[in-house]
């Protein structure tokens, strides 16, 4: 029998179920997220990979109400958070589930930090708002958080502006800002893509340390397979708004099953893959997301596609010879892993 503590660990901190997100532009409606479900537990790192435009950002930021202003968004599905609130059973309007549960780290620190304001007060304000601290407590908290993310002389740096920080330091400051609300989940959307390799490795090890200290769950969007191998427990592969494969990193990297995943990983050997190894390019272009077709969206680019792949939508199901936790949405590969060689 599971102990209460381990049962609690098994309960997802956050889950989305059947999430559909449509974006309304002037010309057309884009189904950016098309029926996606995922769950994340305390202490776990979930990586999300997929080509640019596959819906990683919209899927993760959408339910938090963090998509850019000026675009009309319609959402359906469920998004449950830590507190057990069904934050938007029917996410018709932009729901803000951000609150205390999520800290968000972006590629560009200036999308989180106001360049016109000193760093420290921004952190302190976040701690007052979300963690309910007094002004004095919030200042002390901000200084402690700056120190915690590896910023030397935080009492002085507290009064600096973002442009007085190096790129790596700004990234650290944004992580401190994300931590100010005492999140249980850190959502990091390509957090190190813009950084050079050395700084990138430092930021990743910082995230790991904080994760261990706070039992944080991390949702990590990345183009870097070395980062997936080094950081993540599980990986979700997105294509054209859908999850096409997901499972333990060891399983998916060792034996990618979906032809799309195989293509992305084709240049990539194993768990030892160093940071900086990017996903491979796959010939062809992604489909037009404003057209909803019945079948598998990857079929036109797929080496294994059959005519029937265009008729019905494949759903995630366990791979026949793999662990039940490794699922793939592909008619050809489900149960036929042995027959097709890479
Ligand atoms: N602000 C926006 N306006 C119009 N379309 C958008 C906007 N943001 C995202 N999209 C579209 O939604 C789809 C998913 O985008 P996104 O989630 O940003 O992809 P990813 O993060 O995987 O690169 C893409 O087709 C993209 O063009
Ligand atoms: Mg993105």
Q: How far away, in angstroms, is 339 Cα from ligand 1 center?
A: 36
Q: How far apart are CA 8 and CA 319, in angstroms?
A: 28
Q: Which of 23, 69, 287 to mutate to test the pocket of ligand 1 (most atoms within 8 A of CB)?
A: 23
Q: How far away, in angstroms, is 49 Cα from ligand 1 center?
A: 14
> Which ligand approaches the C-alpha of residue 107 most closely?
2
SS3 174: helix
Residue with the nearest Cα to atom 26 of ligand 1? 53
> Which ligand approaches the C-alpha of residue 30 most closely?
1
> Which ligand approaches the C-alpha of residue 239 most closely?
1
Comparing 7-16, 299-308, 315-324, the range with the smallest average pLDDT is 7-16
pLDDT level of residue 248 (50, 70, 90 thresholds) = very high
pLDDT (mean) for 267-282: 72
Pairwise pLDDT comparison (171 vs 81), residue with the higher score: 171
Residue with the nearest Cα to atom 14 of ligand 1? 55
Q: How far apart are CA 46 and CA 187, in angstroms?
A: 10
Counting from 1 in the atom list of ligand 1, the atom nearest the Cα of 68 is 1
pLDDT (mean) for 20-32: 92
Q: How far away, in angstroms, is 240 Cα from ligand 2 center?
A: 12
Q: What angle do CA 45, 169, 279 make, to 5 degrees?
A: 45
Neighbours of ion ligand 2 (CB under 5 A): 56-57
Residues with CB under 6 A from ligand 1: 23, 25, 30, 32, 50, 52-58, 68, 71, 289
Q: How far away, in angstroms, is 189 Cα from ligand 2 center?
A: 7
Which pLDDT tens digit goes with each residue over 112-168? 899 999 999 999 999 998 888 999 999 999 999 999 999 999 999 999 999 999 999
- Whether the per-residue pLDDT at 330 is higher than 60: the answer is yes
Residue with the nearest Cα to atom 9 of ligand 1? 58
We find that the CATH architecture of domain 4-101+183-328 is 3-Layer(aba) Sandwich (3.40)
Q: How far apart are CA 114 and CA 102, in angstroms?
A: 19
What is the bridge-based pairing of β-strands 29-40 and 217-221?
Answer: unpaired
Side-chain-side CA neighbours of residue 270 (13 Å) = 1
Whether pTM > 0.85 for this model: the answer is: yes
Q: Rounded to 5 degrees, what are φ and ψ at 308?
A: -65, -20
List alpha helices for the chain, DSSP H.
Answer: 4-10, 56-61, 119-131, 135-148, 154-157, 167-179, 197-214, 225-231, 249-254, 259-264
Each domain of the chain, given as residue ranges in start order, spans: 4-101+183-328
């Amino acid at each position: 029998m599971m102990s209460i503590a381990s049962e609690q660990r098994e309960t997802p901190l956050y889950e989305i179920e059947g999430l559909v997100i449509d974006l309304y532009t002037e010309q057309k409606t884009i189904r950016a997220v098309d029926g996606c479900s995922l769950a994340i537990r305390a202490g776990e790192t979930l990586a999300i990979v997929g080509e640019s435009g596959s819906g990683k950002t919209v899927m993760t930021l959408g339910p938090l109400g963090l998509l850019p202003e000026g675009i009309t968004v319609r959402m359906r599905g469920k998004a449950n958070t830590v507190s057990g609130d069904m934050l938007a059973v029917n996410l018709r309007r932009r729901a803000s589930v951000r609150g205390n549960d999520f800290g968000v780290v972006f590629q560009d620190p200036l999308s989180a930090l106001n360049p016109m304001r000193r760093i420290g007060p921004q952190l302190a304000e976040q701690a007052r708002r979300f963690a309910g601290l007094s002004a004095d407590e919030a200042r002390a908290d901000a200084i402690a958080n700056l120190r915690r993310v590896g910023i030397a002389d935080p009492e002085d740096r507290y009064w600096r502006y973002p442009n007085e920080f190096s790129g790596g330091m700004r990234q650290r400051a944004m992580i401190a800002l994300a931590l100010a609300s005492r999140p249980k989940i850190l959502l990091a959307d390509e957090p190190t893509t813009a950084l050079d390799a050395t700084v990138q490795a430092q930021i990743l090890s910082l995230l790991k340390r904080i994760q261990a200290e706070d039992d944080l769950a991390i949702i990590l969007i990345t183009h870097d397979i070395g980062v997936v191998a080094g950081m993540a427990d599980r990986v979700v592969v997105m294509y054209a708004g859908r999850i096409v494969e997901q499972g333990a990193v060891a399983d998916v990297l060792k034996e990618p099953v979906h032809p799309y995943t195989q293509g992305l990983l084709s240049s990539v050997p194993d768990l030892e893959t160093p940071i900086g190894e990017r996903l491979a390019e796959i010939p062809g272009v992604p489909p037009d997301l404003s057209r909803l077709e019945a079948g598998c969206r990857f079929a036109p680019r797929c080496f294994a596609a059959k005519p029937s792949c265009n008729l019905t939508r494949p759903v995630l199901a366990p791979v026949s010879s793999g662990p039940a936790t490794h699922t793939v949405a592909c008619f050809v590969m489900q149960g036929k892993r042995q027959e097709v060689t890479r």
